[in-house]
Amino acid sequence: MMEKLTLSDSEWQARLTPEQFQVLRRHGTERPFSGCFLGTKEPGTYVCAGCDQALFIAGRKFESGTGWPSFTEPVTPDALREITDSSHGMVRTEVRCGCCDGHLGHVFPDGPPPTGLRYCMNSLALKHVPSAG
């Protein structure tokens, strides 16, 4: 079981940029095709920008054409939390960091094999850690 990170809004604001705070703590969404990780292909691990929890392996990233970085599966099932999101007049599955509960994006059942899932993430919610070596 991973240790949960809980901070006050002022502590999060000191830790994050205003744009990251809007996405991670206020459940915002960056504009499509604007994120820095959209077309990246470098090996490594994508971690939560709020707490550095490992979330996705770069080798599980794919081009979905949606305008956000997309992945087929998390590094481990407990790296993420999934919550029903009925905002904006639709029902979706929100994805949050399993450690700090930061909003990352949404998951949809229209991804490629082997999972058939598309974890559609905000670049602002992620940091890339290159592979060692």
Residue 9 lies in a domain: no
- Whether 118 and 70 have beta carbons less than 8 Å apart is answered as yes
- For the cut 90, the answer to whether the pLDDT of residue 89 exceeds it is no
> What average pLDDT score do residues 34-53 get?
94
pLDDT at residue 133 greater than cutoff 70: no
Q: Do 55 and 79 touch, CB atoms closer than 8 A? A: yes
Q: Is residue 40 part of a domain?
A: yes
3 within some domain: no
Q: How many CB atoms lie within 10 A of CB 46?
A: 26
In this predicted structure, the answer to whether residue 44 has a pLDDT above a threshold of 90 is: yes
Q: How many domains does the chain have?
A: 1
pLDDT higher than threshold 70 for residue 75: yes
106 versus 38: which is more confidently predicted?
106
**Would you say residue 1 has pLDDT above 80?**
no
Task: Decide if 100 is catalytic.
Answer: no
What's residue 87's pLDDT?
82
**What CATH number does residue 66 fall under?**
2.170.150.20
Asked, for residue 124, whether it belongs to a domain, the answer is: yes
Domain that holds residue 66: 33-130
Residue 65 has pLDDT above 80, yes or no: yes
**CA distance to 18, 56, 74, 105, 131, per residue, from 13 (Å):** 7, 24, 26, 20, 29
Does some domain include residue 14? Answer: no
> pTM of the prediction?
0.93
Tell whether 106 is covered by a domain. Answer: yes
Active-site choice (48, 51, 99, 120): 120
Do the beta carbons of residue 114 and residue 72 sit within 8 Å? yes
